[in-house]
């Protein structure tokens, strides 16, 4: 398992290097640069601007600028935002906990709903309950995330008044208090529900179909012939094999949840990384955009790594291969 893990980690290194090159090229292509936020706006003389460009190293060859940038990234230094006038790491540090909370809550909702709906539909195929779950899944797969978010705001916030429509915490809350965390969870639940429900559909369908397929296998017929109860067959034998494709999807869903969070956070005005990302693009704040892009790409790779490792734990044949 150790060699398997090291091999997977080593594979990530060249991929991360290529991603960093693409992200750096994106930074060069965007309007504005480090000069935008670090010069006196009242002084537009060519000599002054040229002097500042030389001081910031913007006249250096591209490979030198890339080396200096990547050295800063390794030390967790992504530069300064010319919009917020502060370090990018400080801005991201303020927003990241909200996005992590949103992602964790949506994953919990996804697994909870998918496990019970997929298990029920797989064990009772072609029944009214199965058709109802499939209909719900197809509806969730067909609805765009922004439409689902707007409908949730209209129904749960405006009509029922159960959840706030915008924001990540109520006004006047003191950070760290019990009321603060209750308010934060209250504000996070609705966007997490929308994000989790959209992901649940694919999980449920995979689990249902795999349970139905495994129920026809020889080892299940052998277990039935030995007198094993249906509960033991489904809970112990079939479910264990059917969890493997769900684990495989886990890594990919981390990336999709993060990507979906960008849209959901923007619609709910939820102060997370996704909302910051869209705002920074509109304001041409290249340092923040590049940092978030690199972080999201790295998070996707780590998600895939976790999926591979969990896959290896569940199925030892993967480690051998």
Mark whether 122 and 237 lie in a shared domain: yes
Asked whether residue 104 is assigned to any structural domain, the reply reads yes
Mark whether 29 and 84 lie in a shared domain: yes
Asked whether residue 58 is assigned to any structural domain, the reply reads yes
Q: Distance from first CA to last CA of the chain, Å, rounded?
A: 11
Q: Which residues pair with 102 in a beta bridge?
A: none
Q: How confident is the model at residue 98, as a pLDDT?
A: 87
Tokens 């208090």 sit on residue = 177
Mark whether 139 and 288 lie in a shared domain: yes
Q: Of 88, 117, 135, which residue is a domain's last? A: 88
Asked whether residue 245 is assigned to any structural domain, the reply reads yes
Mark whether 69 and 211 lie in a shared domain: no
Q: Closest Cα partner for 151 from 101, 204, 197?
A: 197
Query: Residue 14, class by beta-carbon neighbours within 10 Å (0-12 exposed, 13-18 middle, 19+ buried)?
Result: exposed
Query: Using CA atoms, how far apart are residues 201 and 220, in angstroms rounded to an integer?
Result: 27
Strands 80-81 and 86-87: antiparallel
Q: Of 68, 88, 108, which residue is a domain's last? A: 88
Mark whether 305 and 158 lie in a shared domain: yes
Asked whether residue 321 is assigned to any structural domain, the reply reads no
Asked whether residue 320 is assigned to any structural domain, the reply reads no
Q: Is the distance from CB of 102 to CB of 192 less than 8 angstroms? A: yes
Domain of 105, CATH number, reads 1.10.3720.10
Residue 305 phi/psi, 5° resolution?
A: -65, -45
Mark whether 84 and 108 lie in a shared domain: no
Mark whether 278 and 156 lie in a shared domain: yes
Mark whether 143 and 49 lie in a shared domain: no
Mark whether 208 and 293 lie in a shared domain: yes
Q: Is the distance from CB of 134 to CB of 121 less than 8 angstroms? A: yes
193-213 pLDDT, tens digit each: 888 887 788 788 888 888 888
125-176 pLDDT, tens digit each: 888 988 898 888 888 888 888 888 888 899 998 888 898 888 888 877 777 7
Mark whether 64 and 167 lie in a shared domain: no
Per-residue pLDDT of the chain (321 residues; tens, 9 = 90+): 777 777 777 877 888 888 888 888 877 776 656 566 566 666 667 777 777 777 777 777 888 888 888 888 888 888 778 777 788 888 888 888 888 888 888 888 888 888 888 888 888 888 898 889 888 888 888 888 888 888 889 999 888 889 888 888 887 777 778 888 888 888 899 999 888 887 788 788 888 888 888 878 788 788 778 777 877 777 777 777 777 667 666 666 666 676 677 888 888 888 888 888 888 887 777 788 888 888 888 887 787 777 777 766 666 665 555
Mark whether 173 and 249 lie in a shared domain: yes
Query: Using CA atoms, how far apart are residues 23 and 179, in angstroms rounded to an integer?
Result: 40
- For the chain, the domain total comes to 2
- Domain range for residue 96? 89-314
Q: Of 69, 88, 107, which residue is a domain's last? A: 88
> Between vectors from CA 146 to CA 299 and to CA 196, what angle results, nearest 5°?
50
Mark whether 242 and 308 lie in a shared domain: yes
Q: Is the distance from CB of 209 to CB of 126 less than 8 angstroms? A: no
Asked whether residue 111 is assigned to any structural domain, the reply reads yes
């Amino acid at each position: 398992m150790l060699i398997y893990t090291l091999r997977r980690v080593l594979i990530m290194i060249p991929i991360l290097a290529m991603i960093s090159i693409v992200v750096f090229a994106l930074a060069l292509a965007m309007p504005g640069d480090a000069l935008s936020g670090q010069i006196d706006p009242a002084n537009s003389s060519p000599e002054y601007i040229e002097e500042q460009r030389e001081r910031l190293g913007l006249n250096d060859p591209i490979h030198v600028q890339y080396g200096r940038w990547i050295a800063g990234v390794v030390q967790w230094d992504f530069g300064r935002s010319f919009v917020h006038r502060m370090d990018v790491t400080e801005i991201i540090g303020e927003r990241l906990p909200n996005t992590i909370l949103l992602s964790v809550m949506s994953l919990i909702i996804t697994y909870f709903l998918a496990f019970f709906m997929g298990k029920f539909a797989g064990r009772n195929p072609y029944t009214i309950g199965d058709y109802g779950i499939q209909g719900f899944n197809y509806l969730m797969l067909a609805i765009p995330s922004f439409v689902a978010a707007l409908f949730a705001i209209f129904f749960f916030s405006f009509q029922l008044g159960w959840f706030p429509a915008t924001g990540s915490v109520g006004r006047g809350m003191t950070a760290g208090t019990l009321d603060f965390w209750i308010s934060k969870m209250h504000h996070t639940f609705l966007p997490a529900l929308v994000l989790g429900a959209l992901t649940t559909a694919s999980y449920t369908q995979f689990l249902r179909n795999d349970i139905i397929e495994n129920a026809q296998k020889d080892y299940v017929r052998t277990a039935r012939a030995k007198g094993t109860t249906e509960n033991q067959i489904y809970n112990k034998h079939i479910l264990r094999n059917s969890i493997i494709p769900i684990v495989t999807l886990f890594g990919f869903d981390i990336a999709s949840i993060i990507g979906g969070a960008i849209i959901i956070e923007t619609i709910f005005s939820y102060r997370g990384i996704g909302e910051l990302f869209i705002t920074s693009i509109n304001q041409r704040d290249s340092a923040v955009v590049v940092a978030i892009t690199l972080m999201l790409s790295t998070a996707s790779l780590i998600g895939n790594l976790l999926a591979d490792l969990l896959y290896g734990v569940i199925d030892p044949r993967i480690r051998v291969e």
